Chain A
Amino acid sequence: METGNIITIQNLYKAFAGKTVLEDINLGLRPGENLVVLGKSGTGKTVLLKCIVGLLTPDNGSIQVFDTNVEKCTHDELDKIRTRIGYVFQHGALYDSISLRENMLFPLMRNTRFFKTSEKEMKQLVEKNLKSVDLLDAIDKMPGELSGGMKKRAGLARALMLSPEIMLYDEPTSGLDPFTAQEISDLIMSIQREKGTASIIVTHDMKCAETVSDRICILHNGKFIAEGNYKTLGVSEDRHVSMFFST
């Protein structure tokens, strides 16, 4: 077992209604790296992310985040860990009933016991993060008025509100046009560069994987079947691996 990993997953099993989704998953995330998990739809990539933040409890195995076992810790500990993780949901997961500004403020307001932030600081932080994703103009709009790409960017900006040490991206570029997808990929890169965060990016978009990945794990039928960087995997002869690179 490698040391120095900020996330360590060992022998993770997860099944839904008797159907195994994740099987014997072992994974380590090193500080500062962008790890891409490649896999087809429905192979349990999102389940993996949700297990990491404790939204789902694994059936077996352990998940260590910052030296804490996620599946065993208390609610308070979990909340504390979650403040250090930024989770970017597939469709942004903006709260429909409140404006973009309130969406941005939500993680701050809910975590006042961990962060003492003045109202002015909050306001500045919201504006700064929205500006970084180029959404400052839309600050008082409702989520329903935003396009799919804007929602993803807004979701990203919201995940950044608490200056997390780990970012988890769930299909950050899916359903976007190539140009917008590239924008998102660039954003992911700039976040890594500027803040030195470690990230797990779950995707099936090879373009994105090529841009952002330091390391790639390939998930097939609930198991990791290959690991390496974009170049080494590109020449692999495994049918399931080459399938991703052939397109």
Chain B
Amino acid sequence: MKTSLLLKNIETFLIELTEIFRFIGLFFNNLFTKRFEFDEMINQMYKTGYRSFFLISVTGLILGLVLTLQTRPMMADLGAEAWLPNLVFVSIIREMGPVIMALLFAGKVGSGIGAELSSMRVTEQIDAMEVSATNPIKYLVVTRVLATTIMLPVLVFYADFIAFMGSFLGMKAYSNISFPLFFTQAFDGIYFYDIIPATIKTFFFGFFIGIISCYKGYYANRGTEGVGHAANAAVVVSSMVIFLIDLIAVQITSLFEI
């Protein structure tokens, strides 16, 4: 009995996985065929990116500040306070910025997309759209996935920058460090292999947050209950996938590092 349940779960998981891959295929299929919903993409970029700026900024600032304040005593004990800006900045650029912002983004935008599309599905808006000579995959999915894929990295750039300023504030709270010195210390020992893989990673984060949220919303059912479920599943699965991608990214990055 127990094993059959487990088997069933594994089966469901595998089917879901296949469906998601099929959906990704559908996305690319619709991405490269004619008619591109540019206006709707701008709309979605505005919604997902521009509207998330405040959230990302505040979080970025706190992230920089807290990381600095938390790490400072340890570094001070070691007498290596001069390394603090660099340590904090490297961890922000490589890991904290992309991952935390992606999780936030999944929470805000992913759940939004999941809820929006599922409610559109449940109230037949997607059907209505299709009847109005509109390919809903192009109109709803492609635009949203592109928007998240493009906007998340941009948001992470902002977040990194703001976290950098937050870190400076954190330093300033305890020492009279000048900005140029902080700047030099922070960038001292930052290499391309810190920035580039982290940036590529965020594109994947954005893409998968978009794809998974759209998938969960697009194929929602069971009426209004399905809406909540889709929003929830969009966030949970996206967050898990973020960590999975992060894990893979670490492996790949370490392959290329000398």
Residues of A within 8 A of B (CB): 50, 53, 55, 79, 82-83, 85, 87, 89-91, 93-97, 106-107, 110-111, 114, 155
Cα A83 to Cα B128 in complex, Å, equals 12
**Once the chains bind, are A89 and B124 in contact (CB under 8 Å)?**
yes
Contact indicator B127/A89 (Cβ below 8 Å): yes
Decide yes or no whether B116 CB sits under 8 A from chain A: yes
Main secondary structure of the interface of A (DSSP, over half): loop
- Say yes or no for B131: interface residue by CB 8 A criterion: yes
B130 at the interface (CB under 8 A from A): yes
- CB neighbours of B128 from chain A (8 A): 87, 89, 93, 95, 155
Cβ contacts B47-83/A at 8 Å (1 or 0 each): 0000000000000000000000000000000000000
Minimum distance in angstroms from A21 CB to a CB of chain B: 15
Please name all residues of chain A whose beta carbon is closer than 8 Å to the beta carbon of B133 when the two chains form the complex. Answer: 79, 82-83, 107, 110-111, 114
Contact (Cβ within 8 A) B125 A95: yes
A119–B61 Cα distance when bound, in Å, is 47
Q: Evaluate contact between B125 and A90: CB separation under 8 angstroms.
A: no
Kindly state whether residue B149 has any CB partner on chain A within 8 Å: no
B182 to chain A, nearest CB (A): 44
**The 9 nearest A-B residue pairs measured at CB:** A93-B128, A79-B133, A93-B124, A107-B132, A89-B124, A110-B132, A110-B133, A110-B134, A93-B125
* B123 in contact (CB, < 8 A): yes
Contact B132 A97 (CB under 8 A): no
Contacts of A90 in B (CB 8 A): 124
> For A85, what are the chain B residues with a Cβ–Cβ distance below 8 Å?
131
Bound together, the chains give a CA A96 to CA B131 distance in angstroms of: 17
The residue from B124, B129, B131, B132 contacting A91, defined by CB atoms under 8 A apart = B124
Contact A96 B127 (CB under 8 A): no
Question: Please, how many angstroms separate the alpha-carbon atoms of A155 and B116 in the complex?
Answer: 19
- Closest CB-CB distance, B221 to chain A, in whole Å? 11
Taken together as a complex, chains A and B put the C-alpha atoms of A39 and B204 apart, in Å, by 49
CB of A50 within 8 A of CB of B125, answer: no
Instruction: With CB as the reference atom, state the residue of chain B lying closest to A170.
Output: B124
- Binary contact readout B96-124 vs A (1 if CB under 8 angstroms, 0 otherwise): 00000000000000000000100110011
Distance of B136 from chain A, by nearest CB (Å)? 10
Least Cβ–Cβ distance between A81 and chain B, in angstroms: 10
Additional A-B contact list (11), CB under 8 Å, known A82-B131, A95-B129, A107-B132:
A82-B132, A87-B131, A89-B127, A91-B124, A94-B125, A96-B120, A96-B125, A97-B116, A106-B134, A107-B133, A110-B133
Residues in chain A near residue B119, CB distance under 8 A = 96
The smallest C-beta distance from A237 to any residue of chain B, in angstroms, reads 37
CA distance A156 to B100 in the complex (A): 46
What is the bound-complex CA distance between A96 and B47, given in angstroms?
14
With A89-B124, A93-B124 as known contacts, state yes or no: A55 contacts B130, CB within 8 Å. yes
